[in-house]
Amino acid sequence: DVKVTQSSRYLVKRTGEKVFLECVQDMDHENMFWYRQDPGLGLRLIYFSYDVKMKEKGDIPEGYSVSREKKERFSLILESASTNQTSMYLCASSFSRQEQYFGPGTRLTVT
């Protein structure tokens, strides 16, 4: 079974802190994705990566950056966390144009 893990299930940070969310997949997938999920807004793509060191902006990249130094790991970085970044963050991975497999999510609260 494909396994996508995220470093934390719950995280509480203060405004202005730098926040790292990590995602690891064990299926050698080339594509990895970061989404945020908010009530009434569904899932919105923040960034994705189709190869090591490659990244593309999604629909809502402002305030975020990403890093992919190894194929299995994709990090989402909030350079200076703000309260409007309180959300559920979901990581996913996929092979080519196949289905995406999701991690359990990280619920981030910024106070």
Interface with another protein includes 86 (CB under 8 A)? no
71 is an interface residue for another protein by CB under 8 A = no
Strands 106-110, 10-13: pairing kind: parallel
Q: Candidates 14-22, 39-47, 67-75, 78-86 — which segment interacts with another protein by CB under 8 A?
A: 39-47
d(CA 61, CA 27): 26
Q: Decide: is 96 part of the binding site for another protein (CB under 8 A).
A: yes
Tokens 């305030």 locate to 63
Q: What is the dihedral of CA 15, 24, 95, 2, to 10 degrees?
A: -120
Q: Which residues bind another protein (CB under 8 A)?
A: 4, 31, 33, 40, 42-43, 45, 48, 50, 56, 58, 90, 92, 94, 96-105, 107
